[in-house]
Structures are given as C-alpha cells and as structure tokens.
Amino acid sequence: MTKQVLAERNLSVDGQFPKGMEISREEPFDLVVNMSGFPVLVPGARLVAWPVPDPIGQEETAYRTVASQIEALVMQLILELRKAS
C-alpha cells in the first residue's frame, strides 16, 4: 500500500530499505528526522521528531492521511531551512 500511495504522488521507494542507526557512525548528518517514536542519538546532528503514526495494517485512507502529514511536515521543514539560511 505504501508503494501505491507514493506512486500516486510520483514518488518511488524502489531499491530503498530500512537501515539501522549504525549508519550514523559511518556518515556525518546535519539533520535527522525521527519518525520512530523512540529516542535517537546522532552526534553532531540536529534532531527533529515527527509524531507520525505507522499506517501498516490499516485501511488505505490511513496511508493517504500519513502521506499527507509527512508531505506537510517536509514542506514546513523546507521553509524553515530556507528561512534560516
């Protein structure tokens, strides 16, 4: 369902997969968006927590709602980052 909803928004997650936090030791990050609901520590990175529910196992409308929430949060973050630069 995730792939279908994202495809409707012209987004593809082909080739993408969940990555563990050990990647944060391999590469530096300026900003980390955490949607897991669990505490995250990434040295040197600004942490932003987004309380977005996981729609897995729910109706199609839940996936669309979450996609819209994430899109709005991304747009808000883009505007904030532009303003700060």
Domain-wise residue ranges, the chain: 2-84
The SS3 of residue 31 is strand
**pLDDT digits over 11-66, tens only?**
999 999 888 888 778 888 999 999 999 998 888 999 999 999 999 999 999 999 99
The SS3 of residue 55 is coil
**Report field, pTM of the whole predicted structure over 0.75:** yes
Could you give the CA distance from residue 24 to residue 43 in angstroms, rounded to a whole number?
8
- Name, in order, each residue with C-beta under 8 angstroms of 54's C-beta and a sequence gap of 6 or more: 66
CATH topology of domain 2-84: Rossmann fold (3.40.50)
**What is the distance, to the nearest Å, from the Cα of residue 30 to the centroid of all Cα atoms in its chain?**
15
Nearest by Cα to 1 from 62, 46, 51: 62
